[in-house]
Amino acid sequence: MRTQVAIVGAGPAGLVLSQLLAAEGIDSVVLEHRSREYVEARVRAGVLEQGSVDLLREMGVGARMDSEGLVHHGLELRFEAQGHRIDLTELSGGRSIMVYGQQEVVKDLIRARLKAGGQILFEAEAVDLLDLVSERPRVRFRQAGTDDEQLEADFVAGCDGFHGISRGAIPALSLTVFDKQYAYAWLGILAAGAPSNEELIYVRHERGFALHSMRSPSVTRLYLQVAPDEDVADWPDARIWEELQARLATADGFVLESGPVLEKGITPMRSYVVEPMQFGRLFLVGDAAHIVPPTGAKGMNLAVADARVLAKALASFYARGTTELLEEYSATCLRRVWRAEHFSWWMTTMLHRHPDDPFMDRLGISNLRYVIGSRSAARTLAENYVGLETV
């Protein structure tokens, strides 16, 4: 099997890249080791920056997002039992965010690619990347019980996430790894029922961080700070709701609406970056190259931004034979990645309790007071949260 660009992974990164390449007349084949049903159902991120929203519209896949997504112009920082609204749109010069689940973005992109005749091979597990420093790299994959299917291409895009094979195909001595693990995790639930607030609420409480979010007008997403070795079995639904209510409580009597818990799980907090994001003709895109704590809502948006940069570079190569943008791919992406890493670290350390580090605890409170009391500090949060136009 032969194509111009082999894409490993049918998450937002791989699907956005395939859609953008198709618009430039560039062929691609997407290999996804899970079934279509699985990738369309897995719940991940849910906040889209303004730039991601604009790109999805430009790509012709924004109609359902605009119909069903929730536009937010602000968020609330809540601490010491008081809420403080940050006007994202006013502070960022008119930009906003869209609450629209990652699985919905994936559904829209899959439908668009298949309708246009694009090739997505589901249940096709990439098992090896070969000849990456040649002009004919290959992906060996397993499908329908056959271990030696091969896809030959001009370039390979590793869009298969943190646990995929793409990053591991790069020799260790060719990469520099930056890894920070945090001393806490998130217990997250998806619950049936209307959200208790129209906008996101970020809470810093003496018992730990909490986040009130949503996925739709009838589905709420909520998180609690817990220890990284916490067992989800120790958190029955009643305990979760009790703890959420305690952390979200305000002096004026905020009431959290509860509902049936549809899903729960524990997510460790981590910051991770590899440099460079390319090796030979392999380009890492999204979580294959970098992870951010979810506090800043940057993961899916970084994947989309990487895909856009790579698509532009490949379009330049096929239209004019120039490799300059391909050679600059890693440096271009990493400027945005490190800005997002810093913002996510800042939000995370400001809002979480540090039980073993009272110094960091005091800094978090100081930072929050500065943000709510300084227009400049609030603008910094807003501009980063909605997504910087250029980095």
Choosing from 205, 298, 329, 352, the catalytic residue is 298
Cα 114 to the chain's mean position, in Å?
24
Residue 297 CA, chain-centre distance (Å), reads 7
Catalytic residue among 12, 33, 72, 73: 72
| Helix, strand, coil percent content, the chain, rounded in steps of 5 | 40, 30, 30
Report whether 274 contacts 177 (CB < 8 A).
yes
- Write the Ramachandran bin of 74: left for phi over 0, alpha for psi from -120 to 50, otherwise beta: beta
Strand ranges inside the chain, DSSP E = 5-8, 28-32, 47-48, 70-72, 74-79, 82-87, 97-99, 119-122, 124-130, 138-143, 146-152, 155-158, 176-192, 201-204, 210-216, 219-226, 261-275, 278-279, 282-284, 290-291
| Active site annotation includes 115 | no
Catalytic residue among 182, 184, 223, 385: 385
Closest of 38, 63, 43 to residue 53, by C-alpha = 63
Residue 72 among the catalytic residues: yes
Q: What CA–CA distances, in Å, run from 228 to 184, 245, 293, 377?
A: 5, 22, 13, 30
- The answer to whether 236 is a known catalytic residue is no
Burial of 139 (0-12, 13-18, 19+ CB in 10 A): buried
DSSP 258: P
**202, 223, 293, 329: which one is catalytic?**
202
Give dist(CA 336, CA 384) in Å, integer.
11
Cα 64 from Cα 337, distance rounded (Å): 28
- Structure tokens belonging to residue 106: 């994936």
**Encoding tokens for residue 390?**
């250029």
Contacts of 164 (CB under 8 A, 6+ apart): 8, 9, 126, 158, 288
385 flagged as catalytic: yes
6/101 Cα distance (integer angstroms): 26
Is 318 designated active site?
A: no
Burial degree of 324 (CB within 10 A; 0-12, 13-18, 19+): exposed
Annotated catalytic residue within 290, 294, 329, 352 = 294
- Point out the residues that are catalytic: 72, 202, 294, 298, 385
